[in-house]
A and B are shown apart, each in its own frame.
Chain A
C-alpha cells in the first residue's frame, strides 16, 4: 500500500507540473487571418452601342462580408430607353494594395463562375457575350438592352461561385436552380428615361 501511495503521489506531482507548465506558456500573439478570395468591389461599365454617355454601376464594401458597413452603391447616371449597352465587369479586392484584380481569376476559372442579371419592372434584358471553355455562359462581357418606355426600378447583378451550369435554365441566365455560393450580390437603382 505504501508503494501505491508513493506512486500516486508522484503521478499527481507530474500531473501538477504539466498543469502549471502549460498554464504559463504562450505569450505569442495569434496569427491574423487575412481572408482569401475577398471581393470588395464590383464595377459594371455600360457603353451604349452607337455612342453616348458611358454609365457605371459600382458596389464597394471595404469591410467585406463580416463587417457591419453596408456596401456603397453608385450609379453614374440614368440609362436611355430602347438602347443596347455593351457591358463589361471588373471585380477587385481593394483590401490589398495595390488592389488585386479578381477578374483575371474568374477568367482563369471560368467554368466555376457565372454572373446573373435580373431587372425589376422588365426594365431591361440581358444576353451573355462571353462563354467558358465548356461553352456555358460566363457574363464578364454582356449586353443590356433597356425597355422602350421610361421607368425606374432595380438591376441586380449576382456572381455565383461553382454554380451548377447544367441545371435547368441556368445557361439562359435563370438563377433559380444555379446553386453554388454567392460571391457578390448587388442591387443598383436605375431610372430609364
Chain B
C-alpha cells in the first residue's frame, strides 16, 4: 500500500517500501500537473551529506544506504528547498511529484505559512496572521482599515462595516472559509458577523474582478481564510488575552488543533469579549458595551490529491447602542445636532440596555475536493447559514422586553468549482452555484415588518482563464452569469401604497385587501452578467504595472426594495422602492508597483462608473400623530467614483522604516451634478517603525492618522418646524465634522519559551493625546464624539 508524505511548500512525494540494510534509494521525479519528468531536481540526504540529481528522464538513484530515518531535501528551480523526513527500509522506490504552483499548496503544507495572493492581475492586498491578531479584540472592519483605500462606515465603534473604495454593504462580498456570508448585510447598522479570531489571513480584492466569488461585488471582495493545517503529527494552539482601558474590556481567545501526518485534522476555537461603556475624552458613552461569544470547530482530511472539510461556527454579539442616539421625533434630532452633546450621560456600566442588538450567526459547511493528475481539481461544497437578528428599541408598557425587529435569515448554498491547471501557463476555472434563502420576520414584535418575509433563489455560473504569456506578462479573463429571483409577501399600509403610486404600477401584485393594509406578493427576477479582464506586466525586477476592467451588476437588496416605515432604532422613516433597477458598474483600474532597494511604492488608481447607483439620503420629514420624523429615501442615480490609493514604504536601515498609506476618492452624482453622500474623505497615515530582532524581537510603531474634513457632500439640509418654539429651525444633517489628527503607538516583544512555544506581549495606545473628534462616516456623529484614548495590553501565547 502506498502512503503519502507531503513536503513543505513545494513538493509532494509518493512512497512504496520494502526491507534491508544494503538499501538503494531510487525513483522518479514528475510534475504533478502534466506528469512530465522533471530534469535536474536535486535530491539531497542531509544526514549523510549525499546528493544526486535527476537525469533527463527524471530518474535518480542513491546506493549503499542503511535502513532508518533519513532527512532528505528535494529542490528544483523555482521551488524553495525544504526538509523531509522519510523512513528507508530496503530498496525503496519513490515517485516524487513536484508541485510547481506554489499557490496550490496552500491547501496542504507541512510547515511554514506560504499565504499568497489569489489573483495575479487585480488590486489585491493580503493581511497575514500577525496583522490580524492585533485586532483580536476588535472587528473585521477595524482590521481592514490598515489597507489603503479601505475605510469603514460605523454605528458607534462596535458596528463597523468595511468600505472599499467608497462602497459598502451589499456591494462587498465577504467570503469566510469558502462561504459567502449572508447576514443581512444590507443595513448600515448590520456589521459583518465575523470573529476575526477564526481567521488566518485576509485577502481584499478591490472591484469586481474576482468573479469566482460573485458577480455583484461592485465594491470588492473580502476573503477570510482559516490558518493552514500542517500535515504532520502535531498538537498546537494559541491563546490571546487582551485588556483595554477604554470600555474596561477584555477579550479572550483560545484555539487548539490536532493534526496527523496522514492528513486528518481536528481543531476548535473559542472567543469571549466583554466591554462596558466606552468613553470619549469628555464623557461616557452611556450604553455602548459589548458581550460577544463565539466558537468554531473544524475537522477533515486533507492531502494534496483529495480531502474533505467540515466546519461549524457560532457567533453571538450583543451590542449596546448609544442611549443618546434614541430619539423620539425630529425635535430630539434637532436638539441633539445643535447641542453637540449626548443627551444622556451616566456613570460607567457594563449593562447592555435598549437600544441594543442581539445577533447570532451560525455556519455549517462541508466540502470535498479531488485532484486529477494531468487535469485539475474539482471541489463541491454545501453550506448553510442561520442568521438570527434581534433589535431592541426603547419600548414602553407590556412591550418593554419585546424586540422591535426579529428576523431569521436562512441560506443554503451548493457550489462546485473546477480548476483545470494541467498547463501552468493556461489555467481555467469553472464554477456553478445554486442557493436558496428564506427570510422570516417574526410578527410577535407587534411592529410592522420593515423587511418582509421572502424566498430568494440564486443560480450562477462562471468561467475564468489565467494565461501566462511570458515570465513578464499575465492575462486574466472572466465571465459570469447570475440569476436571482425574490418572492416576497409584504404588507403595505394602504395610504403608503397609494402615496408611492404603487396602486398604478403594481396593482396586479395585491393578493389580499385588509382595508388599512394590503398584502402583496412582489416577485422580481434579475439577470446579471459580469465580466473582467486584466493584464499584469513586469517591466523589470523593479517596475511592474497592472490594468483591469470589470463589469458587474447588482440586484437591489430587500431593504432597498421594501423598506416602508419607521425604523425604530434609527428614529427615521426609511422608504425603499419596488421600481429599483439593478446597478451596473464599469470599473477600470491601473496599478503601478515600484520596488528599488529600500523604497517600494504601490499606486492603485480606479474609475468606477455606476449606472443606477442606489443610495439612501435624507429627503424631508413626515408628520404623524407622534410628531414629525425625518424621512430617508432610497434613490437611484448615475454615479462616478474616482480614486487613488497609495502605499509607500522606505527602509532607512534594518531597524528603522517609514510607511505611508493615503487614499483619495471623489464621488459624483452625475445626474444632479453634485457630490455623492457618505464618501470617505482624504486620509493619510504615516507610520514610523523600529524593530530589532536582538531585543526580544521588538517591534514598535508610531502612527499618525490624519483625516481631512469631507468638503464635498450634498446639501440635504432642510428647515423643520419645531412647535414648542413655534419656529422653523435648520436641520443640519449634511455638514461633515472637521479634520482630525490622531496619534497611535504600538509595540510588541516575543519571548521564546521553548522550541515550540513563545509568548508575545504587545502594548498599544490609540488616540494617545485623547483628542476629541467625530468621523463623517459614523452614524452616531450627530449624537456624540468618537472614542478617547485606549491603552491595550495583549498577551499572545503560541504553543
Contacts and interface: CB of A to CB of B under 8 A. Distances in A.
A binds B: yes
Interface in B481-511: 489, 491, 493-496, 499, 511
Given A30-B453, A42-B625, A120-B726, A68 B499 contact: yes
Contact of A161 (B368, B396, B496): B396
B396 A15 contact: no
B489 A29 contact: yes
Contacts of A180: 396
A134 to B, nearest CB: 17
Contact of A33 (B449, B626, B723, B725): B449
Given A66-B565, A68-B622, A31 B443 contact: yes
A33 B443 contact: yes
Instruction: Name the residue among A11, A40, A161, A185 with the largest chain B CB count within 10 angstroms.
Output: A185
A45 B446 CA distance: 32
Residues of A in contact with B, size category? 35 or more
Instruction: Name the residue among B328, B438, B573 with the largest chain A CB count within 10 angstroms.
Output: B328
B104 to A, nearest CB: 21
B441 interface: yes
B23 to A, nearest CB: 29
B350 to A, nearest CB: 22
Interface in A1-49: 4, 8, 11-12, 15-16, 18-19, 22-23, 26, 29-33, 35-37, 39-40, 42
A63 interface: yes
Given A70-B624, A186-B625, A15 B366 contact: yes
Contacts of B536: none
B782 interface: no
A182 B329 contact: yes
Contacts of B455: 23, 26
Given A22-B436, A112-B397, A32 B514 contact: yes
B298 interface: no
B626 A182 contact: yes
Contacts of A185: 329, 625-627, 723
Interface in A134-158: 153-154, 156
A30 B443 CA distance: 8
Interface in B441-458: 441, 443, 445-449, 452-453, 455, 457
A16 B448 CA distance: 34
Contacts of A181: 328, 394-396
A61 B624 contact: yes
B519 interface: yes
B496 A22 contact: no
Interface in B373-416: 380, 382, 384, 394-397, 399, 410, 412, 414
A35 B726 contact: no
Given A22-B438, A23-B436, A33-B446, A63 B414 contact: no
A42 B627 CA distance: 13
A108 to B, nearest CB: 12
A48 B517 CA distance: 41
A71 B382 contact: no
A162 B449 CA distance: 25
A56 interface: no
A68 B497 CA distance: 9
A37 B626 CA distance: 13
Nearest to A175: B724
A121 interface: yes
A182 B331 CA distance: 11
A118 interface: yes
Instruction: Name the residue among B397, B438, B455, B512 with the largest chain A CB count within 10 angstroms.
Output: B397
Contact of A67 (B328, B436, B457, B496): B496
A187 interface: yes
B308 interface: yes
A185 B102 CA distance: 68
Contact of A156 (B397, B626, B723): B723
A81 interface: no
A133 B764 CA distance: 56
A153 B623 contact: no
B566 interface: yes
A84 to B, nearest CB: 23
Nearest to A119: B726
A132 interface: no
A130 B102 CA distance: 83
Interface string B548-572: 0000000000000000111000000
B653 interface: no
12 contacts: A15-B382, A19-B382, A22-B412, A32-B491, A35-B446, A63-B493, A65-B624, A65-B626, A66-B496, A66-B566, A70-B623, A153-B726
10 nearest A-B residue pairs (beta carbon): A120-B726, A61-B625, A66-B565, A185-B627, A63-B495, A187-B723, A68-B499, A70-B623, A162-B396, A65-B624
Given A23-B436, A121-B726, 15 more contacts: A8-B308, A11-B366, A12-B368, A12-B382, A22-B438, A23-B412, A26-B438, A30-B443, A30-B452, A33-B448, A33-B491, A68-B622, A70-B622, A154-B723, A181-B395
Interface of A: 4, 8, 11-12, 15-16, 18-19, 22-23, 26, 29-33, 35-37, 39-40, 42, 59, 61-71, 95, 109, 112, 118, 120-121, 153-154, 156, 161-162, 175, 180-187
Interface of B: 301, 308, 328-329, 366, 368, 380, 382, 384, 394-397, 399, 410, 412, 414, 436, 438, 441, 443, 445-449, 452-453, 455, 457, 489, 491, 493-496, 499, 511-512, 514, 516-517, 519, 564-566, 573, 622-627, 629, 723-726
